[in-house]
Structure 1
Amino acid sequence: MYEFIRGTITALNPASVVVETAGVGYFINISLNTYSKINGQKEASLFIHQVVREDAHILYGFAEQREREIFRNLISVNGVGANTAIMMLSSLNPDELSAAVTSGNADVLKAVKGIGAKTAQRIIIDLKDKFGKISETGQILISADNTSQKESLSALVMLGFAKKDAEKVVSKIIREDPDATVESVIKRALKRL
């Protein structure tokens, strides 16, 4: 299993990054929090989680070990897959997610697409003790980088939303707040879709 990948960023969007190292480009799925950390950089070092399936080898990358640890805890819960865990980490930063689980706030978890009442309760029951033990390493800050409406829409489509639905929501958010960052637009859209 891979521990980390360090190299040059050759392509980047809010849902994935391509990192070139030793002449090989690695396609890595990322959360919105990781995107915020590496956006604007030429090089990145990402902590990796590899999922091996019959039909694919999929890499998930994280800017911080803590986020990867939370991701691994989430996918250990029955009914939570890697894509759902990435969606959760894109909707909530690691601190918000930890706080929701340790305080037993199922409503915060249910606000994430794909998380129903039963799954939210299962996450809380399975991870409350584990999240209490994860050391606090500080708040992940979202960078204030202006990007286009097109990039937000592209990220939502890559996350599995219908383009038509995503376009309506993104357009409405941009009208409400024309100066919103791409991260902000995507987070709001994830709560509305």
Structure 2
Amino acid sequence: SQIIREDQHSLYGFIDENEKKVFDTLIKLNGIGPSTALAVCSTLSPDDFAQALISQNISAFQKVPGIGPKSAKRILVELSDFSLQLLNDEYTNSSIQEASMALESLGFKKESIKKVLSNIQGSETQTIIKEALKKLG
């Protein structure tokens, strides 16, 4: 993520795409800057972050340096629907990976599998495979 301000340009890198999503979402909140967002990312994994949001666990956020009770409550209130989106994205990505491996084991080429899977909507592995088989012929 790149953050450009009048007096500085900052670049933040992440190994995991979900960690980047957490960071980008946090810095959009009022009162949460890049350093606090980084502290959250280094203290809580994306899964732990989502679990803390789902279970409304204020103490998990208070463990992060720079976040007190008020900030923790604000994060929970403002991001209540974000955790569901994060978990749904992870579920969909793993289903697509499973479908890709299954189709590859059936003898289809990686290039054609990738092309077909990019056009399929669905979250369950079984549904994705059925649709892909129809399109692959």
TM-score normalised by the chain length of structure 1: 0.45
Greater fraction strand: 1
Greater relative contact order (CA < 8 Å, ≥ 6 in sequence): 1
* 1:43-99 CA-partner distances (Å, limit 9, x unpaired): xxxxxx111011111001111221111111111111111110001111111111111
Q: Quote the Cα distance in structure 2 between the aligned partners of 1:106 and 1:112.
A: 11
Higher helix share: 2
CA RMSD of aligned residues (A): 1.5
**Which runs of 5 or more structure 2 residues have no equivalent in the other structure?**
94-137
SS at match of 2:2: strand
Structure-2 residue corresponding to 1:154: none
Q: Which has the larger radius of gyration?
A: 2
Pick the aligned partner of 2:29 from 67, 77, 92: 77
Q: Moved runs in structure 1, 4+ residues, more than 3 A?
A: none
Count of residues in correspondence between the two structures: 90
**1:91 matched residue in structure 2:** 43
Q: Which amino acid aligns with 1:124?
A: L
Matched, 1:114 2:52: no
Partners of 2:39 and 2:57 lie apart in 1 by 18
Measured after TM superposition, the shift of residue 111 of structure 1 is: 0.9
Counterpart pick for 2:7 among 31, 34, 55: 55
> Within 2, Cα distance between the matches of 1:130 and 1:73?
8
